[in-house]
Structure 1
């Protein structure tokens, strides 16, 4: 087993443990909604980017599934949804629009920075036509739609 697979295993364990440590017990339902809704966004977007040949994930945690779905299970179905949960559950509702922009850029920037490092130093991610700023933009858009859905969900939950 190569170092990249060990990295994916360790990263997956962190993603399994993180919600138990970071999600308050009264917000578990919200975390599930955030997790699943972001997957609705990332699955088709990730498939589109991979099928267009813009980005590739040469090393997979589950390589036998790679012939059916060439996106990164670890990144798009695990890490990014966990990031989105933390983003929305700890979203500072009382800040002005400049603070909101900073909040979005901190989360999206961190995620983008980590992907760029992985692309440069590992075989987990390979950019072809893809650029780092596309990751930044798509992460911001995904977080925005996911958070808006969460706010709508919470509003509907209160009315019931």
Structure 2
């Protein structure tokens, strides 16, 4: 729940920034069509939920290679679905945006969220 709420805060800021700067648009939105231009379902439920799963299954006692692969695979899965949505649906429209910007921003926000998760649940403080 902590990771979910933290990710919601991040996606609220970045999601609104990207949409308001006219980098991405969401031509078809099911919820809150007049409240703001962000994709409510993805920004506030789907992506934070996926991030919670990312943190839950993070290989914390494994090698750095497996940790990096965990980041890469989870980010890639989201970006692949986004690319499919851009190409075959009217759910997302890239204006001044590309898939690699999504990859970079998702990786960074996942990293920041993971760092917050580690900090929040730390049981021993080292001096």
TM-score, structure 1 length as denominator?
0.75
1:70 to 37, 58, 61: 37
Gaps of 5+ in 2: none
2:92 to 105, 125, 134: 125
Matching of residue 50 in structure 1 with residue 19 in structure 2: yes
The CA deviation at 1:130 is 0.6
1:137 and 1:100 map into 2 onto residues whose CA distance is: 17
TM-score, structure 2 length as denominator?
0.93
Structure number with the higher helix fraction is 1
The CA deviation at 1:101 is 1.4
Q: How many residues align?
A: 124
Classify the secondary structure of the residue corresponding to 1:152.
helix
The CA deviation at 1:100 is 1.5
After the TM superposition, which parts of structure 1 deviate over 6 Å for at least 4 consecutive aligned residues? Answer: none
The CA deviation at 1:97 is 1.9
What's the Cα RMSD here?
1.0
Equivalences for 1:6-155 in 2 at 5 Å? 32-62=1-31, 65-155=32-122
